[in-house]
Amino acid sequence: MKVCFKIFLFIIVIFYNSVCIAESKIIYIDVDYILNNSNVGKKKLESINVKKKGIESKLIKTENQIKEEEKNLLAQKNVINENEYIKKVNDLKIKIIEHNKNKNNKMKELTIEATSLSQNLLEKLKPIIEEYSIKNNISLVLQKEDIVLGRSELDVTDEILKIFNNKVKEI
């Protein structure tokens, strides 16, 4: 009797789990695509790229000035005395170190700004995904990057992008 009860219980558990799995609705979303192709995301990324190009042009200008100073210093090597030459070389090394620090700081600032932008967009995206999943009785939402293989009809990226563009106008 106990054995029959255990078998019966085992069959019910397996059947119940398969019914629950069959009723689950799963979708996936390409979050990076939404962040990069949304109206707000495009504007913000464009502004970051403009800043990056401006910073890079200033850094290139400074690098060229330093290279020019180095050429002039090498040309004067035999003309000026050794102590003055060593002093100018040390000054040039300090300029190079300061330039490299400045370059690293500016790139870090851009990286921080881009990361902050992504976080802000994700904060705006999360409630939209939650609302969409509630409306459409979705049990599980996955990121496309985490999927090895999936049917294309489970990808709702374009639908979420449209909703995101309609709801989020400014950050």
Q: What does the pLDDT read at residue 98? A: 93
What value does the mean pLDDT take over residues 8-32? 66
Band of residue 65 on the pLDDT scale cut at 50, 70, 90: very high
What are residue 156's DSSP bridge partners? none
For the chain, the average pLDDT equals 83
**DSSP line for 37-55:** HSHHHHHHHHHHHHHHHHH
Backbone angles phi, psi at 136, to 5 degrees: -105, 15
Distance CA 160, CA 171 (A): 18
Q: What does the pLDDT read at residue 108? A: 94
What value does the mean pLDDT take over residues 5-18? 57
Higher pLDDT, 26 or 106: 106
Higher pLDDT, 170 or 102: 102
Distance CA 159, CA 153 (A): 11
Percentage of the chain beyond pLDDT 70 is 87
Distance CA 88, CA 66 (A): 12
What value does the mean pLDDT take over residues 148-154? 78
Measured over the CA atoms of residue 46, residue 49, residue 51 and residue 53, the dihedral's sign is negative
What value does the mean pLDDT take over residues 36-43? 88
What are residue 142's DSSP bridge partners? 28
pLDDT tens readout for residues 68-122: 988 988 888 778 888 888 888 899 899 999 999 999 999 999 999 889 888 988 8
H helix runs in the chain, sequence order: 2-23, 31-37, 39-75, 82-135, 157-167
- pLDDT exceeds cutoff 90 at 133: no
Backbone angles phi, psi at 133, to 5 degrees: -70, -35
What value does the mean pLDDT take over residues 32-48? 88
